[in-house]
Amino acid sequence: MIDLKNVHKTFNRGKANQVDAISGLDLHVNDQEFLVIVGANGSGKTTLLNLVAGSVLPGSGSIYIDENEVTRLPDYRRSRWIARVFQNPLSGTAPDLSILDNFRLAAIRAKAKGLSIGVNDQFKNQVKQKIAALGMGLENKIDQPMGTLSGGQRQALTLLMSVMDNCKVLLLDEPTAALDPRSAEVVMRTADKLAKDFGLATILITHNLKDAFNYGNRIIQMAEGKIIKDLDKQEKSALKQNDLFDWFG
């Protein structure tokens, strides 16, 4: 589903502050694979997600999503395949618009087929139904401005509205880092469920070793723009939580 072939990304080339953020990276992520990425700050995790999303273009190498070459494609031309949640709950939604209007915007952006967008009850009911499944009681607040909600509530809603029908890839960059433990759990469980329900290829970056341990069916560790460990489903399930701590020892 996602393929990176010998991808390089250098920032500030030729300057004193040149950084090889991604150095000859090869990565294949299968359909329905849930890949967890861990690694020290500055190891290139976010740059890797940016390269998949198209918000950063590679210096060399090639990138494919669902067998389409997207190497030079800007982010808005691949966004129909990609749902993305950032660390900052303020990213990704419009604070002054209601929950419902934010869902409407997201649907328009994804040009979701078969979704009737507009001021009609069918769309409203679909949104309410999705939101009710979070178990946060937000289905009764869909006319409330997004900006009045807590970080956890916003993050859970961002996740829901970004996964649309055509979506194939879910990118999560430390989605729970700014959240209280209870909201973090709702967000992670929702992400896991959406990944399964929609059969998404999912990439989760996290510093939370418990989440790294509990979620996903593959785990890689990055250092200096490279993959230094790669454990498949079997190897990951044989992993103990302490082994993960040792990775950072």
Ligand X SMILES: Nc1ncnc2c1ncn2[C@@H]1O[C@H](COP(=O)(O)OP(=O)(O)O)[C@@H](O)[C@H]1O
Q: Which residues bind ligand X (CB under 6 A)?
A: 11-12, 19, 21, 39, 41-47
**What is the number of H-type helices and E-type strands within the chain?**
8, 10
How near is the Cβ of 214 to Mg ion at its closest, in Å?
21
Nearer to Mg ion by Cβ, of 46 and 79: the residue is 46
Question: Whose CA is closest to 169, among 150, 194, 145?
Answer: 194
How near is the Cβ of 119 to Mg ion at its closest, in Å?
39
39 binds, among ligand X, Mg ion, none (CB under 5 to 8 A by kind): ligand X
How near is the Cβ of 63 to Mg ion at its closest, in Å?
19
Alpha helices in the chain (DSSP H): 45-53, 99-110, 121-132, 151-162, 181-198, 209-214, 233-238, 241-247
How near is the Cβ of 205 to ligand X at its closest, in Å?
7
Q: Which two tokens stand for residue 40?
A: 């020290």
120 binds, among Mg ion, ligand X, none (CB under 5 to 8 A by kind): none
Q: Which two tokens stand for residue 179?
A: 């959240």
Q: Does 46 bind Mg ion (CB under 5 A)?
A: yes
92 binds, among Mg ion, ligand X, none (CB under 5 to 8 A by kind): none
Identify which range of 28-36, 37-45, 103-111, 220-228 contacts Mg ion by CB under 5 A.
37-45
Q: Other CB atoms closer than 10 Å to residue 90's CB: what's the count?
A: 14
What 3-state DSSP class applies to 84? strand
Nearer to ligand X by Cβ, of 17 and 242: the residue is 17
44 binds, among Mg ion, ligand X, none (CB under 5 to 8 A by kind): ligand X
Strand ordering across the sheet containing 226-231: 82-85, 169-173, 201-205, 34-39, 218-223, 226-231
Q: How far apart are CA 51 and CA 24, in angstroms?
A: 13
Nearer to ligand X by Cβ, of 14 and 114: the residue is 14
102 binds, among Mg ion, ligand X, none (CB under 5 to 8 A by kind): none
**Which residue, judged by CB position, is nearest to Mg ion in the bound state?**
46
Q: Which residues are within 8 A (CB) of 163 and not within 5 positions of it... i.e. 6 or more apart?
A: 83, 170, 194, 198, 200
Q: How far apart are CA 237 and CA 233, in angstroms?
A: 6
How near is the Cβ of 47 to Mg ion at its closest, in Å?
8
Q: How far apart are CA 98 and CA 127, in angstroms?
A: 12
Identify which range of 40-48, 63-71, 183-191, 220-228 contacts Mg ion by CB under 5 A.
40-48
19 binds, among ligand X, Mg ion, none (CB under 5 to 8 A by kind): ligand X
Footprint on this chain of Mg ion (rule: CB under 5 A): 45-46
